[in-house]
Amino acid sequence: MKNILVLCTGNSCRSQMAHGYLNEFLDNRRVKVYSAGIETHGLNPGALMIMKEDGIDITHHTSNHVDEYANVDFDYIITVCDHANENCPFIPSKNAIRIHHNFFDPSKVEGTEKEKYDAFLKARNEIKAYFKEFSENNF
């Protein structure tokens, strides 16, 4: 069993979308996916909505702090924002492969409902493509 941690600042949006796609792309019998933040902000309604549009239900996810997983030995630790990458606490996984990719943060977009929707769509599509390729190349 491989353990993957997706880490973001607040575990509300980008890491939650990545978690949803990894569960979709990988066989849950071989991989356990965790997502966490260096803070917890709760699930972002925009992320829930945009993932549902793509057939991925993340409503059962919770916003977790990275310290909750201190005893998990991760095989991959993937940071999905620069802030988490720069401020990540030490995670004592023996042989974890650490990967960083900064994704655009749709939760920071202000404007019309259409502009906000487009921001979530852009982020979702980038995250989906990245984690599809990650899944195909590593498992």
Residues marked active site are found at 8, 81, 88
Kind and range of the H or E element at 4? strand 2-8
Rg (CA), the chain: 14
Q: Where are the alpha helices (DSSP H) in 1-139?
A: 14-25, 45-53, 82-87, 113-138
Q: How far is CA 75 from CA 1, 66, 71, 94, in A?
A: 9, 15, 13, 8
Q: Is 94 left (phi over 0), alpha (psi -120 to 50) or beta?
A: alpha
